[in-house]
Structures are given as C-alpha cells and as structure tokens.
Amino acid sequence: MKSTGIVRKLDELGRVVIPIEVRRVLNIAEKDGLEIYTENETIILKKHTPHCSICGESKNNIKFKDKLICIECINVIKEAGR
C-alpha cells in the first residue's frame, strides 16, 4: 500500500471525503460506485467495475433487464436453446 500522507476525519454521519487529488489519479468521478472491503483493521475502497451476472467477466457486457451479461454467456445460452 502507498501512503498519501493525507488524513481526513469522519463527519457526524460517518462520511469521509476522498481528496480530489486521489480521485483524479484513480479516475473516480462523482456518482461512481466504490466497493468496500475489510481486512483485519484495514478498510479498502475499490472503484466498482460492472461485471457479468453469470460468470463475473467485466468486459463485453450487454444490459438485459437490468442485468449485465457478457457476449460469451449470451452465446452459451443461445446454443443451449437450440
């Protein structure tokens, strides 16, 4: 892990502001989703990457009825229906 030297305090609602410098470096924009992980006493924030609802692939996804499905899974489903 790389230290930025930046310290932020939680507000009364438990929120913390991620500094603009960090958001720019990590290409995090307003409304982007962040995944939250914990490991021992460490909190890890990771930019959310949408993925296929079936296999977990994060590339070549198509939205179908509010779910993402990758092209490969679509082709497997097509073949199974024949």
pLDDT over 70 percentage in the chain = 100
Q: Which residues contact 36 (CB under 8 A, 6 or more apart)?
A: 43, 44, 45
Tell me which residue range forms the domain holding 76: 50-82
Shared domain check, 72 and 54: yes
Residue written as token pair 């021992």:
40
Same domain, residue pair 29 and 1: yes
pTM here?
0.60
Residues 5-11: what's their mean pLDDT? 92
CA–CA distance, 32 with 10 (Å, rounded to integer):
20
What are the pLDDT digits (tens) for 27-55?
999 999 999 999 999 999 998 888 899 99
Residue 42: predicted pLDDT: 92
6 pLDDT exceeds 80? Answer: yes
Q: What is the CATH number of the domain that holds 39?
A: 2.10.260.10
pLDDT at 64: 87
Tell me 18's DSSP state.
Answer: P
